[in-house]
Structure formats: structure tokens, C-alpha cells
Amino acid sequence: MIQMLEPMLSEIREEAVTTKRVLERVPADKLSWKPHPKSMSLGQLASQASFEPPVPGDLKQIHAALDQSVRSAEECISGMSETAALGTWRLTLRGKEFFSKSRSGLLRSIMLNHWYHHRGQLSVYLRLLDVPVPAIYGRSADESPFA
């Protein structure tokens, strides 16, 4: 693996631990719950592994999806050459380019930032369901890592 991607791989592993803590709070009997008709269900948000998240049957599938996603990210990043990491990634449709970005920048914005965004949404869903929200980057109203 190239040295410039080692911090990103470490971050993925650290954030996976935090995400698991949030997922452990997801109530199994509320997977179909939505805060709004246009929203994803709790189960879909918790198993956000694709652009069209499946409706999970149980919490085991949600945890397995996270584990598989982390393994896939580790394999992708570990096997990426410096040329590929610094190369340009383009999103096109029928020959029209919508945007381009360095592959390492894309990993940061689309993979990691998007993951954190959905985890934040998930913590709001938990709050709305009156489920104690775990500490993520510091204390929550329900838990403090400093206590």
C-alpha cells in the first residue's frame, strides 16, 4: 500500500468501531420506521451499503453489511497504486461529464464523508425513537466517554 493512503485506512478502521457502537443501538423492532414518508427507513439507513439500500430483515444483516463494506474499502485502498490514487476519477453519463476529482479526494468525500453523514442521520433517528445515542466524537446527551 502506498504511504499517502495509510492514514485513510486507519481512519476507516477507527470510524468502523464508532459506527458499530451506533448500530448496536438500532432497535430490531423498528427497522421499518421512518421519520417522514420521503425518508429511508431506519433499517435502510443502518445498512447503507449502496445507492439503493436494501430493506434488511434483521440486525445481523446490518452488522454483516458494515463488516463487508469495511473489508471492501480496506482491499480497495490497500491495493491502490500511487498512480491510481492521484489519478482523476470522472462521473459521466452518456458521454457527459458531471464532475471529476482525484481518486483519493473522491474516497474522502464520497466514501468517508458520506458514511459520516449517514451515521449522523442515524443518530438523529435514534434520538427521535428515544434510544440512547452513544458518544461519537465526544459526549452525547446520553453517554460520555470521559465519565
123-137 pLDDT, tens digit per residue, is 999 999 999 999 999
| Per-residue pLDDT at 51 | 66
- pTM listed for this prediction: 0.87
Q: Percent of the chain having pLDDT more than 70?
A: 97
Domains of the chain (ranges plus CATH)? Answer: 3-128 (1.20.120.450)
What's the whole-number mean pLDDT along residues 75-99? 93
Q: What is the 3-state secondary structure (H, E, C) of 69-114?
A: HHHHHHHHHHCCCHHHHHCEEEEEECCEEEEEEEHHHHHHHHHHHH
For residue 141, pLDDT beyond 80: yes
107-124 tens-digit pLDDT = 988 889 999 999 999 999
